[in-house]
Homo-oligomer: A and B are copies of this chain.
Amino acid sequence: MYKADLNQLDLILESVWNEILSQSKLVQAIFKGDICKALFVMYMLETYHYTKHNTKNQALVGVRNLTLPHRYTSYCFKHAREEIGHEDMALRDIANLDFVLPEIKNLKPLPATEVLIAYLYWISFQGNPIQRLGYSYWAESCYHYINPIIQKLSSVLKLKEDQLSFFIAHSSIDEKHFKEVADMILSFCYSEQDFQDITRVMETSLRLTGQMLDNVYHEYQKVLQGKSNLYPFLSKQSIPA
Contacts and interface: CB of A to CB of B under 8 A. Distances in A.
Interface of A: 52-53, 55-56, 59-60, 62-64, 66, 70, 73-74, 77-78, 80-81, 84-85, 111, 114-115, 117-119, 121-123, 200, 203-204, 207-208
B123 A118 contact: yes
Q: Is the interface of A mostly helix, strand, loop or mixed?
A: helix
Contacts of A63: 56, 59-60, 63
Nearest to A204: B111
Nearest to A53: B66
A163 B114 CA distance: 36
A193 to B, nearest CB: 10
A84 to B, nearest CB: 5
A114 B118 contact: no
A53 B67 CA distance: 11
When all copies of this chain in the complex are counted, the total is: 4
A89 to B, nearest CB: 12
A28 B118 CA distance: 30
A64 B208 CA distance: 24
Contacts of A203: 111
A81 B115 CA distance: 27
Contact of A84 (B56, B60, B74, B122): B74
Contacts of A119: 114-115, 118-119
Contacts of A62: 55-56, 59, 80
Contact of A122 (B52, B55, B77, B118): B118
Contacts of A80: 59, 62, 77
A104 B66 CA distance: 12
Contact of A115 (B78, B84, B115): B115
A52 B67 CA distance: 10
A55 B80 CA distance: 14
A84 B59 CA distance: 13
The residue in A56, A78, A118, A204 that gathers the most chain B C-beta atoms within 10 A of its C-beta is A118
Contacts of A118: 115, 118-119, 121-123
